Amino acid sequence: MDKILRGIQSIRGSISVPGDKSISHRAAMLGAIADGITEIEGFLMAEDCLSTIDCFRKMGVEIEITYENKGRIDGEEPGCEGFDSRPESAVVKIFGRGLYGLKKPDGPLCVGNSGTTIRLLSGILAGQDFETEITGDESIKKRPMGRVTWPLKLMGASIDGADGGSRAPLKIRGGRLKGIEYKLPIASAQVKSALLLAGLYAEGSTIIEEPEKSRDHTEIMMKAFGADICRESNKIRLTPVERLTARKIRVPGDISSAAFFLAAACILPDSEVIIENVGINPTRTGIIDALRLMGADIQILNERTINGEAVADIKAKSSGLKGIEVGGAIIPRIIDEIPILAVAAASARGTTVIRDAAELRVKESNRIAAMVEGLSGLGARIKETADGMEIQGTNRLKGGRVNSFGDHRIAMSLAIAALGAEGETIINDVDCVKISYPGFFDALAELNKFGD
């Protein structure tokens, strides 16, 4: 489906964004291998997280989904073909089967488009006493898996797959795992999390060293479920325990979803937006830090802690942004938000340089190339570099036809660019926003009536 948007003058109002995708994934996974019933409030009902639920249902885990004011929904089995429209969040009850209670599925597990699901679940499957095939859509089959499968093999798992196990589909047979000390070649929360999950089944401690601290939702949630895990500087140590214990989880709003509205408020004149109940884990707030360095007027309000995660309301106002250099230690904290940061840079004074972000080339799309093509099509002065991009701010973008490349973050970033452009913009293939934020365009309409 294409989306037609027209430039608008401003956005104003208060909204909530759906639950954090990273936290929703991890809560479902740990709940499935814990003892007892885990209840998750605010679970993100987007395609990626539903793929995680589907995989565990196929391994014998009973999972109930209750939508607000609509009761329990049965018989909805998400899979590779996509999902019908549904509310963005729900209460999910997971009847955990314990560390060793998963059952061999009848067929391959399909993760859809979810890189988080395939990588983290590989860590859990590495500890099972059965063989499992795990696959996904065409995008997943192109994404690098060797960074996960190689260290899992070092721990004792048997893994085969395309290109020697570096691409999906993967066949994983758990073995007698042993803890390892492993230094990550790049900061990756997904690789770190997969190894820590495998470490729950290993003999001895698993120690992971990061070059830079990546998002730490796995460590926070593992500790909440009773895992023996600690951090010293950039090293995380996990020692196996006999069991994990179910608990109640409340998922805050996803800062990666909030980022689109923060940027929109900053670049559009006479704009002010408050986004309520957003997770502000320090490993995720790189977008706030970067926008503030550009001169953004962003305030953090009503800070509190829920389930070990920092949560707050965020207010953003129209701001005169300026170009900056972005690279180094901030990149792991902003990697998913670089596309929307590029949109902000296109409206800033001066030049913005984004470097050390080559990881963007192996996301759902080549996000460097996709954003350069998309913003160039709207009149931005932007060029691709080996590990990022250079953007010279322009007075105003112009409408045009652009391509999302089936990537949810590209589609939403280009939608925000379209709001600040003159005339009409057509974005190809916006159905992909269902991967993380099904109601994105409704939220934009709530802040200002626009488009078709």
Q: Is 423 left (phi over 0), alpha (psi -120 to 50) or beta?
A: left
Q: In the numeric block, which tokens belong to residue 68?
A: 């607000």
Q: How far apart are CA 184 and CA 162, in angstroms?
A: 23
Q: In the numeric block, which tokens belong to residue 189?
A: 């929360």
| CB contact at 8 A, 155 and 202 | yes
Residue 160 annotated in active site = no
Q: In the numeric block, which tokens belong to residue 107?
A: 């067929």
Where does 126-242 have alpha helices with state H? Answer: 138-142, 146-155, 162-165, 189-199, 217-224
What is the CA angle 72-95-25, rounded to 5? Answer: 85
Q: Which listed residue (336, 356, 387, 407) is catalytic?
A: 336
Contacts of 429 (CB under 8 A, 6+ apart): 1, 2, 403, 404, 405, 406, 411
Q: How far apart are CA 67 and CA 396, in angstroms?
A: 42
- The three-state secondary structure class of 149 is helix
Q: How far apart are CA 167 and CA 184, in angstroms?
A: 19
Q: Which residues are catalytic?
A: 336
